[in-house]
Structure 1
Amino acid sequence: MSYNYSEGLSPYENKGKVGLKEVFESEESVTKKVKELAEWVRSANHVVVHTGAGISTSAGIPDFRYDYHKCSRGFVLHEFSIIFYLNKSSYMSGKYLDVFNVLMLLPFVNRGPNGVWTLEKKGLKPEVNISFDDALPTKTHMALLELIKARKIHYIVSQNIDGLHLKSGLLRNYISELHGNMFIEKCNVCKRQYVRKSATSSVGQKCLNVPCPSTKVNGRACRGKLYDTILDWEHDLPEKDLKMADYHSSIADISICLGTTLQIVPSAIVKNLYNSQRSWTETTS
């Protein structure tokens, strides 16, 4: 079950603010802001989306910080904690594409489970807890995929380990998964990665006692062992994913943050780096 991911991590005190409350806006306000966002996306040269647990709660996977979720067609602060960092001088007229209808898919969210760390503080566990194997991509995942295909979004940086971005059909070269992926295993010798149909049985980059199936150039077996790719609190981030996230974030004229409060390193650092280089506007709704 997805809750077991949190239970499998080492004890850690610095989890940031928990027990956050949802904020709702009127449909009129949401429509107005989505139209504005659509214009920004149309005119941008390089758009990066940062995603967190909030985009997967409607799939039945608990987030970490929020107190209670209910249905809303508005941009819920929990589901879509949207922060736009804008280089206002870089607006250019680009090829027109009606991204408004795609972006309007995002507000259609369902009730999701309460935050794991919020409940943990109360000595409780989530009532809704679907397995990673059974979880399906949400409308948010599918909308992001369509915008990637249309070349209106250029890269995704995700803190999620649920594998839903790749399940949606997103190609691996369009995403950095900073905290790992429950469906990807990695060899400790040749460093090759393997995508599985079922979620790994462990977290914390532990040995799965499965031999690497790859062979060397000379035809000999690799002799390495496969490990899960899920980071524990003090683990180093995957070098390639972090490098690509840093690169795309540094050249983005718009970064859209969905379902994340950006409290945990390195996402908080990426935000601060962007703030130091760009003029920016924050919009939450």
Structure 2
Amino acid sequence: MSLGYADRLKEYPHKGVCGLPEKQDTERQLQLSLRTLVDLVSSAEHLVVLTGAGISTAAGIPDFRGPDGIWTTQNALERAAAGKPKAGAKRKRKPKAGAAAGSGAAEGGAAAPPAETRSGAIDFASASPTLTHHALAELARLGKLKYVVTQNVDALHQRSGLPRSKLAVLHGCIFEERCEACGALYLRETDVGTISFQPTGRYCTRVGEAAGSAACGGVLRDTLLDWEDPLPEAELTEAERHCERADLILALGTSLRIEPAGSLPCRHRRGGGYVIVNLQRTPKDSKAKLIVRAPVDRVMAALMREVMGLELERGAAGARWVATGTGGAATGGAMPEASSLTAGAGGAPASAPVAEG
């Protein structure tokens, strides 16, 4: 059960800044910010998005450092138990000095304690992509969005139909496992059950292109990072490459407190910049072109409507982007049903690799 993911993480004392207050722009402030954001996104030639916990909370997956986040709640319980008053080479994840220390998955908001302690929290396998996940997949399909970098481990980007080739999953995924021999990547319908690159008990079924080739048979290992595990170097390098080419980076629903992911927005090309959409302050606020304090889904709905001329329509057959008659796009593209989880883009069977090493 993915609800037990948080319990798999090692004990780690430095969970960093938790429970900062959330703030929302006034309606007037928000409308002004949205106008600016629409202009920035419309003119962007190489748009990159960095995502964190805040884009998955609308799917029922709690974050870690919000007012009701997992670490926030855990810290409060520990303080209460101790009788303390409430207090305001291979690269590894590390906290920014004086900021939060936490697992990338923790930043990515993809874990939850037992359901009985979290009203409304749901199992990862039951979660569906949010409007933001669907919007990013559609922007990528239309060529407007060049790359997505996520700190989340919940596979909601993959479920939305975003191609894995346009996605860097920096902190691993509870539904993915990789062959140690050939590098083939598999996306499963259920939590693979392990952490820190351990064998999952399954073997690679990838077959070579030559006629009569046998299955690889290599050991499959989880991709999920524990505290201080090294990041996947190839994915981090690709994320950095796209950020360095970006004239605009959107940081959506992330505290920007986990390194190296937290500094990626600052790697934009000369003359570019980044925008933060988050309800809490971040260490990167002072250099941002724009800060929007509003729910991410509301911001992305406005962007899709004003920039692409699309609105999300949900029905019994699933979700679909439809033209509104405004913005830049003439028609919307159909998406996979929100409830479906396949092995990858194109509906590959769960036993087939979604990417090859």
User: Which amino acid is 1:122 matched to?
Assistant: A
Indicate the SS of the match to 1:255: strand
Q: How does 1:46-61 map to 2 (within 5 A)?
A: 46-61=46-61
Structure 2 residue corresponding to 1:123, chosen from 73, 77, 83:
77
User: Which amino acid is 2:51 matched to?
Assistant: T
**1:284 matched residue in structure 2:** 292
Instruction: Tell which has more relative contact order, 1 or 2 (C-alpha 8 A, sep 6+).
Output: 1
Structure 2 residue corresponding to 1:146, chosen from 138, 161, 180:
138
- Partner Cα distance (2:8, 2:77) in 1: 16
Report whether the alignment pairs 1:254 with 2:234: no
- Name structure 2 gaps, 5 residues minimum: 79-116, 274-287, 294-357
Report whether the alignment pairs 1:134 with 2:126: yes
Q: How does 1:1-285 map to 2 (within 5 A)?
A: 1-67=1-67, 114-123=68-77, 125-215=117-207, 219-274=213-268, 280-285=288-293
Indicate the SS of the match to 1:244: helix
Contact 1:160 1:181 in 2 (8 A): yes
Normalising by structure 1, we get a TM-score of 0.77
Contact 2:19 2:66 in 1 (8 A): yes
Contact 1:180 1:230 in 2 (8 A): yes
Change (3 A) 1:274 1:12: farther
Identity %: 38
Superposed CA deviations along residues 74-116 of structure 1, whole A, max 9, x for unmatched, are: xxxxxxxxxxxxxxxxxxxxxxxxxxxxxxxxxxxxxxxx311
Report the more deviating stretch, 157-166 or 223-232. Answer: 223-232
1:204 CA drift (Å): 2.3
Indicate the SS of the match to 2:186: strand
Superposed CA deviations along residues 161-211 of structure 1, whole A, max 9, x for unmatched, are: 100011111111111110112221111111111121222222222211212
Report the more deviating stretch, 186-195 or 199-208. Answer: 199-208
- Partner Cα distance (2:37, 2:271) in 1: 21
Report the more deviating stretch, 198-207 or 120-129. Answer: 120-129
Change (3 A) 1:10 1:275: farther
**1:81 matched residue in structure 2:** none
Contact 2:197 2:224 in 1 (8 A): yes
What is the Cα-based RMSD across aligned positions, in Å? 2.2
Report the more deviating stretch, 256-265 or 24-33. Answer: 24-33
- Partner Cα distance (1:154, 1:126) in 2: 36
1:37 CA drift (Å): 0.6
Contact 1:16 1:264 in 2 (8 A): no
User: Which amino acid is 2:46 matched to?
Assistant: H
Indicate the SS of the match to 1:11: coil
**Count, aligned residues:** 239
Indicate the SS of the match to 2:145: coil
Contact 2:244 2:269 in 1 (8 A): no
Contact 1:61 1:129 in 2 (8 A): yes
Contact 2:62 2:121 in 1 (8 A): yes
Normalising by structure 2, we get a TM-score of 0.62
Indicate the SS of the match to 1:214: coil
1:284 CA drift (Å): 3.5
1:277 CA drift (Å): 8.2
- Partner Cα distance (1:144, 1:221) in 2: 35
Change (3 A) 1:271 1:44: closer
Indicate the SS of the match to 1:208: strand
User: Which amino acid is 2:241 matched to?
Assistant: Y
- Partner Cα distance (1:199, 1:27) in 2: 40
- Name structure 1 gaps, 5 residues minimum: 68-113
- Partner Cα distance (1:233, 1:276) in 2: 33
